[in-house]
């Protein structure tokens, strides 16, 4: 996978292949499988909901 050299060069990239979600980390040479898409999508949504709640409650560590 080609890595960007722009403002998102240090970002984690996600990809989906054969029902699995992979994370491409800028500090790791090979992609890492996170799990099946159903589970990972559920957990990502849960994480984002927790972040939104923390923001509404004024948590300074959220961003």
Q: State mean pLDDT over 17-38.
A: 96
What pLDDT score does 1 carry?
52
- Residue 5 clears pLDDT 80, i.e. is over it: no
pTM above 0.85, yes or no: no
* Band (44; pLDDT cuts 50, 70, 90): very high
DSSP 1-61: -PPP-STTTTS-EEEEETTEEEEE-TT-SS-EEEEEHHHHHHHHHHHHHHHHHHHHTT-TT
First-to-last C-alpha distance (Å) of the chain: 28
Q: How far apart are CA 33 and CA 60, in angstroms?
A: 30
What pLDDT score does 7 carry?
77
């Amino acid at each position: 996978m080609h890595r960007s050299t722009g403002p998102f060069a240090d970002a984690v990239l996600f990809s989906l292949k054969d029902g699995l979600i992979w994370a491409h980390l800028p500090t790791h040479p090979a992609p890492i499988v996170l799990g099946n898409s159903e589970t990972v999508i559920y957990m990502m949504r849960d994480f984002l909901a927790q972040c939104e709640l923390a923001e509404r409650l004024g948590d300074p560590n959220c961003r």
